[in-house]
Chain A
Amino acid sequence: QVQLQQSGPGLVKPSETLSLTCAVSGGSISGYYWSWLRQPPGKGLEWLGYVYYTGATNYSPSLKSRISMSLDTSQRQVSLKLRSVTAADTAIYYCARIGGVLDPFDFWGQGTQVTVSS
Chain B
Amino acid sequence: SYVLTQPPSVSVAPGQTARITCTENNIGSKSVHWYQRKPGQAPIVVASDDTDQPSGIPDRFSGSISGNTATLTISRVEAGDEADYFCQVWESTSDHPWVFGGGTKLTVL
Interface size bracket, A side:
20 to 34
Q: How many A-B residue pairs have CB under 8 A?
A: 61
Question: Which residues of chain A are near B28, meaning CB under 8 Å?
Answer: none
**Looking at the complex, which one of B43, B97, B102 makes contact with A43 (CB distance below 8 Å)?**
B102
Interface residues in B, total, Cβ within 8 A: 26
Does B60 have its Cβ within 8 Å of any Cβ on chain A? no
Question: Which residues of chain B are near A101, meaning CB under 8 Å?
Answer: 90, 92, 97
Interface flags, B47-59, vs A, CB<8A=1, else 0: 0100100100000
Does B88 have its Cβ within 8 Å of any Cβ on chain A? yes
Does B44 have its Cβ within 8 Å of any Cβ on chain A? yes
> In the complex the two chains form, what is the Cα distance from A43 to B33 in whole Å?
19
B54 contacts A106, CB within 8 Å?
A: yes
